[in-house]
Amino acid sequence: MVLSGEMTVKGLSEELGIKDSTLRRWAREYEEMGDGAFPGNGSPKINKDYEIVKLKKKVEELERENEILKNFRAFLSQDHA
């Protein structure tokens, strides 16, 4: 995402909850060594962590919207005469 220019290092590091210096180091290592920079299956974990962060943010957003709608429904049901 960072290497392709889709996101900034700062933006992605904040979403993943890691230091931007760590993300920069990982990007540099990947550019220098390609897939050999990360033996094992480290890449899928990063993608899963990213998805978890995105989904948690979405849940928070939907919970806020739900609370607003509940409050609005209560307001509409009150007698305003």
Whether residue 26 is contained in a domain is answered as yes
Whether residue 4 is contained in a domain is answered as no
Whether residue 1 is contained in a domain is answered as no
CA distance linking residue 61 with residue 67, whole number of Å: 10
| pLDDT at 44 (0 to 100) | 58
Whether residue 2 is contained in a domain is answered as no
Range 19-36 average pLDDT? 84
Q: Which pLDDT band, with edges at 50, 70 and 90, does 64 fall under?
A: very high
Say how many domains are in the chain: 1
Q: What per-residue string of b and e applies to 15-34 under the rule 16 or more CB within 10 Å gives b?
A: ebeeebeebeebbeebeeee
Whether residue 27 is contained in a domain is answered as yes
Q: Residue 20 sits in which domain range?
A: 9-77
Residue with tokens 């550019």: 31
Percent residues over pLDDT 70 in the chain: 83
